[in-house]
Structure 1
Amino acid sequence: MMIKPSPVAAVNLGTMSDLPAPPNSDVADLEGYYDRFYVHDAGEIRHHLQRLAAERSALIVRPDDTATALPTILLKADAGGFLIDVPASPAVQQAWLAAPLLRFSGSLDRAALRFSCGPARPEIFEDRPAFRLPLPERMLYLQRREFIRREPPLGTLICRLPVDEGACEVDATIRDIGGGGLAVLTTKSVIRLTVGDLLRGCRLDLPELGEVEVNLLVRHVLARSHLRPDLTQAGCEFVELSAAAQRKLFRYLLQLDRELLARRRRTLLE
């Protein structure tokens, strides 16, 4: 039987959250690099979840060992775990309930959050269906001061965005990029991006490193009419990057750092 999801209003999708690029020695060991950013205290984890619920923040959910990620809302967090809204699709509902582990990602005050837990079980919350999950054993929590974003030389990095359900692509200039996401510049006449759009199969052609395919979740959209009447900037978060894509992106970020350092040295010598 299909579980009807509860209506959700005033959803806060937050802003783009960038993960910092590890130094050269850690590129091959991403998990080891991020260990220092994990929270293990149950009280602190519950506090972050309660704040997500209070601010109606969205979370991206993916069953372990699958590539399908969808948004949901965290409804409540308590000593026994937390509750999320149920997805609209009966097939997705069954997939979430059958998965031994669900992977979550989101943001809170521009801090990136990542955690995994499970299994989910049905429960009623305020007379509406919900899924209950146990508190995660640990949570990746990256504060704003740990974010690193870089601006590639203008026009050197393009993101190819699929349109018309992948029938064709449009090129968007990348304004800045980090380990967790990027910002693209495009025009409304070419493509209209709105907060919450999930763009699958976007392609980045990284200089000297080759092509990377990513999924992008639009976190915020800003008008840049002072530069061009219909120009917009969309801040996007990478959704479920593969380890290989992460490594290639981090190498590109390190490449940008080296180029910037070289330019500064040349300036000092002039």
Structure 2
Amino acid sequence: MNDSPAHSAADVADIDGYYDKFYVHDADEIRHHLQRLVGEHCALTVHAEGSNDSMATMLLRVDTSGFWIDVPNNRALLDAWMAATTLRFEGSLNRAALRFPSGPARLGVHGDRPALQVPIPTRVLYLQRREFMRREPPAGTLACHLHLIDGQEVDATIRDIGGGGLAVVAIRSMVRFQVGDVLMGCRIELPDIGEVEVDLQIRHILNRGHIGHDALQAGCEFVNLSPVVQRKLFRYLLQLDRDQLARRRRDE
């Protein structure tokens, strides 16, 4: 899915307003979250602004000047990080997602080893568990067009969906799921919102004999979601919440 430049600019402007309630701006609280990442040895995924090449790294230390991360072992990636004005970071703490931009990075030494020092971010997107809770769409209303590793394309029913991933149910004889596989370029048509394209990493596989003898379910995590797709997914989830509340009130 490719947005036109004008459409992308409008969406990006809208994204900031949409996520405002999830941002942390307090400097002490931001440092606290970064210190927790260090203390719990949490990995961070990093990529340079405008690049799709990402790599996991460790946050080593937080000090008054910034925070320190491991140097990537790929020289081309290190050069890209050093040249970028902004790096984008993603991590998690107790199933709460943290995302923030910062930069530029400066090459230095930490513990007698090369490391990158990055300024403390001015804001951090902190999505707690509720934003990632799964919702069940009304039966038959949501499907995913899967691009399988072996090149096949099949349609699967979405059993539940949240901000962090979804579960799909497909006919066993038509799919070959493997835990760890990343299914690239899968498509979901969100009612009243439009189509989104997502990459899915298979986290677990379940037999669903009570649904049908040939039914197989795969729990999947979203990988490298763009901000535009994140926004559309959360709009859809909020709509599901509103619809469920309206039905509950009608039944009272």
Scaled by the length of structure 1, what TM-score is found?
Answer: 0.70
Q: After TM superposition, give the deviation of residue 182 of structure 1 in Å.
A: 1.9
Equivalent positions of 1:1-270 (< 5 A) are 29-145=14-130, 149-164=134-149, 167-178=151-162, 180-185=163-168, 190-194=176-180, 199-216=183-200, 221-222=203-204, 224-225=206-207, 231=216, 233-237=218-222, 239-243=224-228, 245-261=229-245, 263-264=247-248, 267-268=251-252
- Measure, in 1, the Cα distance between the counterparts of 2:61 and 2:200: 27
Measured at CA, do residues 116 and 176 of structure 1 come closer, stay the same or move farther in structure 2, by a change above 3 Å? Answer: same
Which digits, 9 at most, give the CA deviation of each residue in 1:114-157, with x for residues without a partner? 11111112233344433221111121223335655421134532
- On the 8 A contact 1:203/1:211 being kept in 2, the answer is yes
- On the 8 A contact 2:107/2:114 being kept in 1, the answer is yes
Measured at CA, do residues 264 and 45 of structure 1 come closer, stay the same or move farther in structure 2, by a change above 3 Å? Answer: closer
Measured at CA, do residues 65 and 177 of structure 1 come closer, stay the same or move farther in structure 2, by a change above 3 Å? Answer: same
More moved, 114-123 vs 233-242: 233-242
- Measure, in 2, the Cα distance between the counterparts of 1:151 and 1:48: 31
- Measure, in 1, the Cα distance between the counterparts of 2:114 and 2:166: 36
Measured at CA, do residues 59 and 258 of structure 1 come closer, stay the same or move farther in structure 2, by a change above 3 Å? Answer: same
Q: After TM superposition, give the deviation of residue 113 of structure 1 in Å.
A: 1.0
Measured at CA, do residues 234 and 87 of structure 1 come closer, stay the same or move farther in structure 2, by a change above 3 Å? Answer: farther
Pick the structure with more helix per residue: 2
Q: Percent identity?
A: 54
Amino acid at match of 2:196: V
What number of residue pairs does the alignment pair up? 234
The CA RMSD measured in Å over matched residues stands at 3.3
Measured at CA, do residues 83 and 217 of structure 1 come closer, stay the same or move farther in structure 2, by a change above 3 Å? Answer: farther
Secondary structure of the equivalent of 1:150? coil
Q: Structure 1: which 5+ residue stretches go unaligned?
A: 1-27
Secondary structure of the equivalent of 1:252? helix
- On the 8 A contact 1:224/1:232 being kept in 2, the answer is yes
Q: Structure 2: which 5+ residue stretches go unaligned?
A: 1-12
- On the 8 A contact 1:174/1:185 being kept in 2, the answer is yes
| Structure showing greater relative contact order (alpha-carbon pairs closer than 8 Å, 6 or more residues apart) | 1
Scaled by the length of structure 2, what TM-score is found?
Answer: 0.74
Secondary structure of the equivalent of 1:137? coil
- Measure, in 1, the Cα distance between the counterparts of 2:194 and 2:133: 22
- Measure, in 2, the Cα distance between the counterparts of 1:136 and 1:79: 12
Q: After TM superposition, give the deviation of residue 100 of structure 1 in Å.
A: 0.6
- On the 8 A contact 2:182/2:201 being kept in 1, the answer is yes
- Measure, in 1, the Cα distance between the counterparts of 2:52 and 2:65: 28
Which digits, 9 at most, give the CA deviation of each residue in 1:28-58, with x for residues without a partner? 8432243233222333212211211222222
- On the 8 A contact 2:179/2:205 being kept in 1, the answer is no
- On the 8 A contact 1:159/1:184 being kept in 2, the answer is no
Secondary structure of the equivalent of 1:153? coil
Q: After TM superposition, give the deviation of residue 91 of structure 1 in Å.
A: 2.0
- Measure, in 2, the Cα distance between the counterparts of 1:86 and 1:170: 40
